[in-house]
Amino acid sequence: MKKLLTLLLSVVCCFSGISFSACNNTQKDKVGIKYYAEGSSIVSAMLSDVETIGLVPEPAASNLTNKMALRGKTVYKLDLQELYDAQDKAYPQAVMMVKSSVLATFPNIIDVLSGIDNNVTWLKQDGNATQAVDAIKTKFEASTLVAGTLSASAIDGCKIYWQGVNQAKEQVKSYINDIMAIESGSAKTVNDDFFYSGTASGNCEKQTLTVYAPDGAPALAIAKFIKDNTKLVDTLDVSYNVIKANTIPALYKGGTADVFIMPVNLATKFYNTDNNVGDPYVMVSVVTHGNFYIMSTEPLTINDLKNKKIAVPNPNAVPDWTFRAVLEKHGLKYYNIEG
């Protein structure tokens, strides 16, 4: 009899257009996660009413809000960073890694790099967003950044600011533990040698220092440096590079960059491996502190996600692991919606 009822239930679900998993009591009170390759795809899906709830990064979140407003619709937003840490409203998303030999030879380079906060102040001034995006596109023509969406509030939502290792060390360690609890291979537990202590070893004899950052908020952090071709050391040339995120591991393991802004989990996994053995990268700062928001066409709280579907970008990457860590912090169970 039980098998017959199960069969009848699956038939009802099929003809009513509901997936069996949605009808299945095993998924009751859980959050359904539908994965997308990237945030821009979720924005498109929400604009076309395919999705009603999505995890979206800034500045794409502001772009979605503006486009919905043109249609007379309101989009509501939950701050993922605040849901992760109600006090700091942040988590260490992207960090700046510098070659040990560069720091040993040019310790004052930190004084220039910490100018990121001034870069953000400049970025929010009228007309400078256009200059910033134009500068980034000279290094990466396919950049997804759009100057028109970079309002001061959108830039603030990117949470770009310099946080040195003394302030960030314990937060980084805690965050790494959190995402490794979600996926053990997501990162690598780090010791104190991962963090710049103020002293380093090695000798840099390069004539040109190279700086790499992925497109998006990390690229915005150095946009003014790119525009001005800011030298990190007076006596050396500098080469700024903006790249696709999926190229980071190979470039990082290859020791290509002298300065690299990158997701913290990748930084922990490869800082002293492959071509970096003997001249490891060390972390000097957290640069972006989480820029993801739960966007919805209806007002909601985190607990309202029960029995609902949310579109999440970048499966098995920092946004996914952080979102799942947030669900667990709030006592919410979840499942993967296939297809």
> What type of residue is 130?
T
Tell me the per-residue pLDDT of 126-151, one tens digit each, with 9 for 90 and over.
999 999 999 999 999 999 899 998 99
Pair 57, 319: CB distance under 8 Å: yes
* Residue in 324, 280, 40, 292 with CA at minimum distance from that of residue 159: 292
Does 14 score more than 80 pLDDT? no
Tell me the per-residue pLDDT of 158-188, one tens digit each, with 9 for 90 and over.
999 999 999 999 999 999 999 999 999 999 9
Exposed, middle or buried, 320 (CB in 10 Å: 0-12/13-18/19+)?
A: buried
Contacts of 173 (CB under 8 A, 6+ apart): 190
Tokens found for residue 85: 């840490």
Q: How far apart are CA 82 and CA 94, in angstroms?
A: 17
Does 277 score more than 60 pLDDT? yes
Tell me the per-residue pLDDT of 293-306, one tens digit each, with 9 for 90 and over.
999 999 999 999 99
Does 12 score more than 50 pLDDT? no
Tell me the per-residue pLDDT of 197-223, one tens digit each, with 9 for 90 and over.
999 999 999 999 999 999 999 999 999
pLDDT band at 31 (very low <50, low <70, confident <90, very high): very high
pLDDT band at 28 (very low <50, low <70, confident <90, very high): confident
Tokens found for residue 13: 């679900």
> What type of residue is 58?
E
DSSP 225-293: HHHHT--SSTTSEEEEEEE-GGGHHHHHHTT--SEEEEEHHHHHHHTTSGGGTTS-EEEEEEEE---EE
In this predicted structure, what is the pLDDT of residue 339? 67
pLDDT band at 2 (very low <50, low <70, confident <90, very high): very low
DSSP 19-62: -HHHHSGGGTTPEEEEEESSHHHHHHHHHTTS-SEEEEETTHHH
Which residue, chain included where needed, has tokens 């393991």? 253
Average pLDDT over residues 270-282: 90
Average pLDDT over residues 232-248: 96
In this predicted structure, what is the pLDDT of residue 204? 95
Tell me the per-residue pLDDT of 83-119, one tens digit each, with 9 for 90 and over.
999 999 999 999 999 999 999 999 999 999 999 999 9
pLDDT band at 24 (very low <50, low <70, confident <90, very high): low
Pair 311, 48: CB distance under 8 Å: no
What is the torsional sign of CA 136, 260, 88, 292? positive
Residue 96: strand, helix, or coil:
strand
pLDDT band at 54 (very low <50, low <70, confident <90, very high): very high
Q: How far apart are CA 177 and CA 314, in angstroms?
A: 20
Tokens found for residue 248: 């980071």
% residues pLDDT > 70 (the chain): 92
Q: How far apart are CA 164 and CA 184, in angstroms?
A: 27
In this predicted structure, what is the pLDDT of residue 273? 87
Q: Where are the domains of the chain?
A: 32-88+291-333, 94-288
Number of H helices, E strands in the chain: 16, 12
Pair 269, 46: CB distance under 8 Å: no
- Read off the pTM: 0.89
Does 18 score more than 80 pLDDT? no
Which residue, chain included where needed, has tokens 């080469």? 239
Q: How far apart are CA 217 and CA 223, in angstroms?
A: 10
In this predicted structure, what is the pLDDT of residue 25? 62
Question: What is the phi/psi pair of residue 311, to 5°?
Answer: -85, 130
